[in-house]
Amino acid sequence: MNLNELKQEYLDYLHYEKLSSGNTITNRRSEVNIFVREMEKQGLETIEEIHTSHLRAFISQLRIEKGYQPVSICNVISGLRSFYSFAVKKGYVTADISQKIKKPHLEQTEIEHFTWDEVERIFLAVPRNASYVRNLCLLLFLYYTGIRMEELSQVKQSDLSHDLDELYVEKGKGDKSRYLPLHPLLQKALKVHLKSRKVQNSP
């Protein structure tokens, strides 16, 4: 199997078997495309032909010739490890040589949090139109539960508990399901939204 065929099988695996998010698949596709393209330039057609020296040269090229920053290098190495993990799992190679490639050191940066004034301005910015309560619910979900955008877009009414104090998130990040408690303010907004919906039978 050549590298392009293996690449496509890997992307199908992420989509259909691992149920990875759309963002993850997009990022992995970009990383593996760059890798396969560079390997083919060197005349390497299958993954068995690639050695650790090729991976190191590839990473050096990204850093020196293409100007990749440390965080981007880390992302590419993570993509390589995911690709090789798949190849080992499916029996295309016996050893994961990507584990020999060290990620560059990243300085820890302090996370900047919203101030209370910024949070208030976000909520006040919600347009007072026909979708106001629904949009307010979306913001309250994000603010109080930490749910991811892609997870929130998949929420169905049946995922909410009867008294609206809990949300079931099916197969979220890492293909894991979990329950999220809902803040009283979010519960109140949800009650108003669910009563005012035009299509009551829609999930």
Q: What pLDDT sits at residue 121? A: 93
β-partners of residue 180 are 167
Tell me the average pLDDT of the chain. 90
What are the structure tokens assigned to 29, written together?
């596709």
Query: In the chain, what's the furthest Cα-to-Cα distance?
Result: 63
In terms of phi and psi (left: phi > 0; alpha: psi -120 to 50; beta: otherwise), the region of 146 is left
User: pLDDT digit string (tens) for 57-116?
Assistant: 999 999 998 899 998 999 999 999 999 999 999 999 999 999 999 988 877 767 778 888
| pTM (predicted TM-score) | 0.57
Which tens digits make up the pLDDT trace of 20-39?
888 889 999 999 999 999 99
Looking at residue 172, what is its pLDDT? 64
For residue 185, give the DSSP letter: H
- Give every CB contact of residue 194 below 8 A, 6+ residues apart in sequence: 157
Residues 121-154: pLDDT tens digits? 999 999 999 899 999 999 999 999 989 988 999 8
**Hey, what amino acid is at 125?**
A
pLDDT at 196 over 90: no
Quote the distance between the C-alpha of residue 134 and its chain's center.
25
